[in-house]
């Protein structure tokens, strides 16, 4: 049965990796894989001899000798299955609710055209200056609103400044590197970092303390090198396009960003799960948004909604949330949880640790995240290592998984969305940007290892 489950996982993973070839959204194989794997476990439960207790991080003693069912909720294989499934579903939903809250706040900011405020930071018509402004903004914004959203926002702004696509794709390539680097040092900057933070593998203060310099180096080195390249050594003329101004745009931008930054502070103060703080922030932002929106209604508009919520920024924001991404995370995290429950990931982790050094493994994991989605890689690594909170290895995994994906355009969510928005070729990125990302990744990794050896 374990062989069948591993085969299903490999085939599902291939389908996810080749989603652009098959033209099937990756959420489909992810959800199918999750359902089939857990179904196989349920059918093969009588013959399963080992089970991993995720709460205590060790294999259950004599699991193969347990009965299928037991009276009065005693120890049994079915009891372990039900408890484990509920545990992993709860942990996964914590992450998903957190992401939904963050996405909704971002969409509310966009509803008020708040991100147009960022355009005011561009005062120069030199491409080199614009490159530095975009990369610095990507590095900072991605740490607050996550690297995917930061990439979308900055490329949208870039379109208002650079008319030619052949010029924009160079900037987009460096934005991907900077956004992924910025997302690595913040607990809310990347899905994988959020997973480690919510899984209590890292804490906010230590994450920032240990990763901000390596992440900064990962962004700075490629940007410095790129600033000497020919595409950035000229000037540009911004197209004359009149933007729709919203008088509440800047206010909602700052309120939204402050609300998201407040979440780690709330967790530190209350020790409650991060999604509770995110729901508090979301409630404040939505309340303000509703009040400001109601002020914009005229008497003639009051009867136009026909009983629905068409005028509400909250409902408009919820309708724009990337639900396919949420469902993909559900599928992939629950699939990895199934492999972990069988003890396969724990056993594999022990084999790896006996074969190569942990640091080398993490560096290879980061490189692998350029080819394979970093979410399941990090989810798997969380089941491999039995390490205390804030161990240097957890922080190194956060850095590697967050920044390693920049080496290929399909290696990160930021890269995939930039690829779609600007029609960037896979091989163009590999030839023109990939080497810059590799230099940034390796220099950042080297600085992390150096800092921790001192």
With CA atoms as reference, report the closest residue to 289 among 242, 245, 244, 246.
Answer: 246
Phi, psi of 235 (to 5 degrees): -110, 170
DSSP 235: B
Q: Which of 54-58, 145-149, 210-214, 288-292 has the lowest mean pLDDT?
A: 54-58
Q: What integer pLDDT is reported at residue 240 of this predicted model?
A: 64
CA-based nearest residue to 333, from 282, 402, 381, 380: 380
Beta bridge partners of 53: 58
Round to whole Å and give the CA distance between 211 and 142. Answer: 14
Handedness of CA 410, 221, 159, 170 (dihedral sign): negative
Name residues whose C-beta falls within 8 Å of residue 39's C-beta, 6 or more positions apart in sequence: none
Q: What distance in Å separates the CA atoms of residue 227 and residue 126, rounded to the nearest whole number?
A: 11
Q: Which residue has the higher pLDDT, 186 or 421?
A: 186
The distance of Cα 231 from the centroid of its chain, to the nearest Å, equals: 30
Amino acid 391: pLDDT: 92
More confident residue, 342 or 71: 342
Could you tell me the pLDDT band of residue 436, with boundaries at 50, 70 and 90?
very high
Distance CA 403, CA 383 (A): 21
Q: SS3 for 250-267, per residue?
A: HHHHHHHHHHHHHHHHHH
pLDDT computed for residue 309 by the predictor:
52
Round to whole Å and give the CA distance between 254 and 419. 29
State the average pLDDT for the chain: 84
- pLDDT, tens digit, 9 for 90 and up, residues 79-126: 888 888 998 898 888 888 888 888 888 888 888 888 777 777 777 788
Residues 312-356: tens digit of each pLDDT = 777 777 777 778 878 888 888 888 888 888 888 778 777 877 888
pTM value > 0.75: yes
* Stretch 42-57: mean pLDDT: 83
pLDDT at residue 306 tops 60: no
pLDDT confidence bin for 73, thresholds 50/70/90: low
pLDDT digits (tens, 9 = 90+) for 231-261: 888 888 766 656 566 788 889 889 988 998 8
């Amino acid at each position: 049965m374990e062989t069948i489950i591993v085969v299903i996982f490999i085939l599902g993973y291939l389908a996810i990796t080749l989603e652009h070839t098959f033209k099937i959204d990756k959420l489909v194989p992810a959800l199918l894989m999750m359902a089939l794997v857990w179904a196989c476990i349920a059918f093969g439960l009588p013959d399963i001899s080992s089970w991993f207790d995720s709460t205590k991080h060790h294999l259950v003693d004599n699991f193969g000798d347990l009965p299928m069912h037991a009276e009065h909720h005693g120890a049994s294989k079915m009891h372990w299955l039900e408890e484990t499934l509920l545990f992993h579903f709860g942990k996964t939903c914590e992450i998903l609710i957190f992401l939904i809250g963050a996405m909704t706040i971002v969409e509310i900011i966009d509803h008020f055209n708040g991100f147009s405020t960022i355009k005011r930071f561009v005062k120069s018509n030199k491409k080199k200056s614009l490159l530095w402004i975009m990369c610095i903004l990507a590095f900072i914004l991605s740490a607050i609103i996550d690297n995917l959203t930061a990439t979308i926002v900055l490329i949208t702004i870039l379109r208002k400044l650079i008319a030619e696509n052949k010029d924009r794709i160079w900037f987009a390539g460096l934005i991907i590197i900077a956004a992924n680097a910025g997302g690595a040092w913040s607990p809310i900057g990347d899905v994988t970092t959020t997973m480690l933070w919510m899984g209590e593998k890292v804490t906010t203060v230590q994450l920032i303390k240990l990763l901000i310099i390596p992440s900064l180096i990962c962004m700075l080195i490629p940007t410095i090198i790129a600033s000497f390249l020919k595409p950035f050594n000229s000037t540009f003329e911004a197209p004359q396009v009149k933007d729709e101004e919203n008088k509440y745009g800047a206010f909602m931008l700052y309120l939204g960003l402050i609300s998201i930054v407040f979440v780690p502070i709330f967790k530190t103060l209350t020790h409650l799960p991060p999604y509770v703080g995110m729901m508090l922030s979301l409630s404040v932002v939505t309340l303000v948004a509703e009040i400001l929106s109601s002020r914009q209604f005229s008497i003639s508009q009051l009867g136009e909604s026909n009983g629905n919520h068409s005028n509400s920024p909250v409902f408009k924001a919820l309708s724009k949330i990337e639900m396919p991404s949420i469902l993909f995370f559900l599928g992939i995290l629950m699939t990895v949880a199934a492999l972990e429950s069988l003890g396969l990931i724990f056993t594999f982790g022990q084999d790896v640790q006996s074969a190569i050094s942990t640091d080398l493994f993490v560096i290879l994991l980061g490189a692998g995240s350029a080819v394979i989605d970093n979410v399941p890689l990090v989810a798997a690594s969380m089941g491999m290592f039995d390490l205390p909170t804030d161990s240097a290895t957890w922080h190194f995994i956060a850095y590697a998984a967050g920044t390693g994906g920049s080496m290929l355009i399909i290696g990160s969510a930021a890269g995939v969305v930039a690829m779609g928005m600007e029609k960037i070729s896979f091989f163009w990125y590999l030839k023109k940007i990939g080497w810059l990302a590799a230099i940034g990744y390796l220099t950042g990794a080297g600085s992390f290892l150096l800092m921790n050896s001192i």
